[in-house]
Structure 1
């Protein structure tokens, strides 16, 4: 018996692959915002708190932008794409930002290291890797319940890996595809 699809949602390895993909997508936007915020805050000599606030704000901006763009290309207007991005990415970005900034604060000297320092860049890379590892199971749990990044997939026209295992013409919860 195939257990990779349950109630129209992926399970097992398919769910894990989708969670990894969603987390990588989220990490890309978050990392751009995070790195930009850390670079700007560090270059301007801001305090740790100011730098983290900027980095987190930019991580959310870029994280949401990386979802809004593709959702709009699938046919939604900006006004409709924004709530989709908020539903898809808020929990994921929040977890990622809490973890990666906590790691940066816990690595001795990381926040005070200059932009030319291996300590700064190594700590930031390590922090983002830890955030990825922690966020994958969160996204897996959300997607498995039709939440988080699963919301985005409802707005893409392509059939997904787990859809391929259903009879043609069925999509989602066994309903005909329109």
Structure 2
């Protein structure tokens, strides 16, 4: 993943800031999507209700989202506690927005949660929910990065 624009975006604004926000959101989407898809698949395969499936998907999305942020921080020699602090500061709002949007989207599509793992309705709705979440989270990350917050906090460790 290319992270070279994060610092420039926080200082320059405009296109560089937007590129930085898109990159940060794509990074967040990667962790969220792994957790979201895994949670939805496990919950659906086990026949869980919507609430249990969504809770599992959210827990896993936060776990994988934070983990992907922590890896380069840990590689940079930062201790586990401090790396967790960086991940919490960098990704909490972004992951929260993404999770609220994509899970709400899934619940609002009639039959999507009950469709089953072999249904195009399930997979299409899940893909669409993540795409909508991405689009709605970019402005959140843009605002955070412009203030030196959010993913800008983790940028120094991505080299």
TM norm. shorter chain > 0.5: yes
1:29 to 16, 31, 40: 31
Shift of 1:80: 1.1
- The one-character-per-residue Cα deviations of 1:44-88 (angstroms, maximum 9, x if unpaired) are 000100000000000000000000001111221112100000000
- Listed as ranges, the gaps of 5+ residues in structure 1 are 159-178
Q: Which has the larger share of strand? A: 1
2:84 to 79, 82, 85: 82
2:140 to 129, 138, 141: 138
Q: Secondary structure at the match of 1:9?
A: helix
**Quick check: 1:51 aligned with 2:53?**
yes
**Quick check: 1:125 aligned with 2:132?**
no
Q: Structure 1 length normalisation: TM-score?
A: 0.83
- Listed as ranges, the gaps of 5+ residues in structure 2 are 1-7
2:95 to 85, 93, 96: 93
1:41 to 36, 40, 43: 43
Q: Which has the larger share of helix? A: 2
1:98-109 alignment runs, 5 A limit = 98-109=100-111
1:154-165 alignment runs, 5 A limit = 154-156=156-158, 158=159
Shift of 1:9: 2.1
| Larger displacement relative to structure 2 (146-155 or 36-45) | 146-155
Equivalent pairs, count:
153
- The one-character-per-residue Cα deviations of 1:67-116 (angstroms, maximum 9, x if unpaired) are 00011112211121000000000000000000000000111100000100
Partner of 1:162: none
